[in-house]
Amino acid sequence: MASVSKVIIIGGGIGGLTLARACLDVGIAVELYEKRGLDAMLSGPGGIFIQRNALRVYKLLQSGQIYQRFYHSGGKILKGGFFDRQGEPLYINAPQFIGEEDLGVCLLRPELQQILLEALPEGTVRTGVAFEKFEETDNGIRVFFSDGCTVEGDILVGADGLYSKVRARLNGRERLEEPVYSGTCCWRGYFEGSGLPLDSQYSWAEFWGQGTRFGYFDVGGGRFAFYAFHNTEVGGNDDALGGSLNALRSLFKDYADPVPAIIEALEGEKIYRDDIVDRLPLGSQWGQGRVTLIGDAAHPVQPSIGQGGCMAVEDAFELASLLFTNYSGGDTIPSVLRQFEASRTQRVTRVFNSSRQVGKLAQADTALGCFLRNWIYKLTPTRLADLQFKWLFDYQPQWN
């Protein structure tokens, strides 16, 4: 096929930034355009689990430099588990059964973004530039931005997230339809761990109540990210309660420590609230012609198994790897992009289904449902529970 010498990426989230690095690693030029200003691009709520499937990608990129920096800034994923709201253990992981010393790392989102940005040569990322539309030319793709500028490249990748405009334009639309609401909203932020009654044997813990749950995890440097879920109406806010801190106080008042103590420690900290949504899988074709999608633009999932961003990382690696390997083949550029999409479909669909299933179980909101959920988790042998996601964590990225 004609070689790909320049990729245009829309979106500077984890997917777009990782793809930029992966392309540069295989000698393909990239330009990344992000609609937000730099400060906003480097912000983000709470923390993120980079689990071992995605972490293996970073071991390969830039000779492992990103991987090293993650461990320098972040918190290692170690022993942790699910508890009922009184603090009784329901499931505690047993990393030794999985046979990996490295389960992954958790980072504050702004630190993740900063590390990924700093892994790119200056000038690769242009911020404050919003994608507007594209058109195919005789031998490439032309991209139009809202400020009237245009650029040209060999392929266009929409890494522009849940409300992807690239995906909307592929469907001949101005904007995408609303995503599917899960019935749950989520608060996120972070806190300093010192002085709080956290059990030091756990790097992460999640407490399950009735229609609510609260979790926290180590993000390095004595800091912890938290998240709290609540089954409620779409589009809600905490104004009537005088803010998110009061909403959390009221929802989690009958939880055992450390949950109420953590909530009190959030006084004065920024707390983000979002509705939890996803989109039904697209099937085996995500793009058209010289345009493809990665990450949330193609397959947003509920966060119940902490894999949305990890899938974006895998997508980024697999796309760069395929563009590299097909340089001298007989395929056309569009056919290589369709191969990429088809190769990812089964895996991301499985993650979508698992995320919905786990979310539904964890957010049980009847007394019977909670009893059954807790009973299932208590009685399932740890080894079996850990093995259920073996298919996910067995991912072994390789440059072809």
Binding site for ligand FAD (CB under 6 A): 10-16, 33-36, 41, 48-49, 130-131, 159-162, 165, 186, 188, 227, 274, 295-297, 303, 306-310, 312
Beta strand pairing status for 204-208 and 80-84?
Answer: parallel
Buried b (16+ CB within 10 A) or exposed e, 196-217: eebeeebbbbbbbbbbbbbbbb
Q: Give the helix/strand (H/E) hosting 217.
A: strand 212-220
In the complex with ligand FAD, the residue whose CB is nearer, 143 or 323, is 143
Alpha-carbon distance of 246 to 271, in angstroms, equals: 11
- Interhelix angle 308-325/52-60, nearest 10 degrees: 40
Q: Which is nearer to ligand FAD, 259 or 301 (CB)?
A: 301
Residue 342 one-letter amino acid: A
d(CA 1, CA 329): 6
Inter-CA distances, 366 with 83, 85, 136, 210, 327, Å = 17, 14, 53, 6, 56
- Cβ proximity to ligand FAD: between 185 and 198 the closer is 185
Nearer to ligand FAD, 159 or 337 (CB): 159
From the CB of 123, what's the least distance to ligand FAD, in Å? Answer: 17
Tell me how far, at minimum, the Cβ of 227 lies from ligand FAD, in Å: 6
**Interior/surface letters 53-85, b for 16+ CB within 10 angstroms, e for the rest:** bbbbbbebbbeeebbebbeebbbebebbbbbbb
Amino acid 300 reads: P
Residue 128, judged by CB atoms within 10 A of its CB (0-12, 13-18, 19+), counts as: middle
Burial class (CB in 10 A: 0-12, 13-18, 19+), 138: exposed
Residue 38 DSSP SS3: helix
CB of 45 vs ligand FAD, minimal distance in Å: 7
Beta carbon of residue 259, minimum distance to ligand FAD (angstroms, whole number): 17
In the bound state with ligand FAD, the residue whose beta carbon lies nearer, of 238 and 331, is 238
Smallest separation (angstroms) from ligand FAD to the CB of 195: 26
- Nearest distance from residue 48's CB to ligand FAD, in Å? 4
CA separation, residue 87 to residues 28, 79, 176, 186, 202 (Å): 51, 16, 42, 21, 13
Rounded to a whole number of angstroms, the minimum distance from the CB of residue 124 to ligand FAD is 14
* 91 burial type by CB count under 10 A (0-12 exposed, 13-18 middle, 19+ buried): buried
Minimum CB distance to ligand FAD, residue 224 (Å): 13
Please identify, using beta-carbon distances, which residue of 85 and 213 lies nearer to ligand FAD. Answer: 213
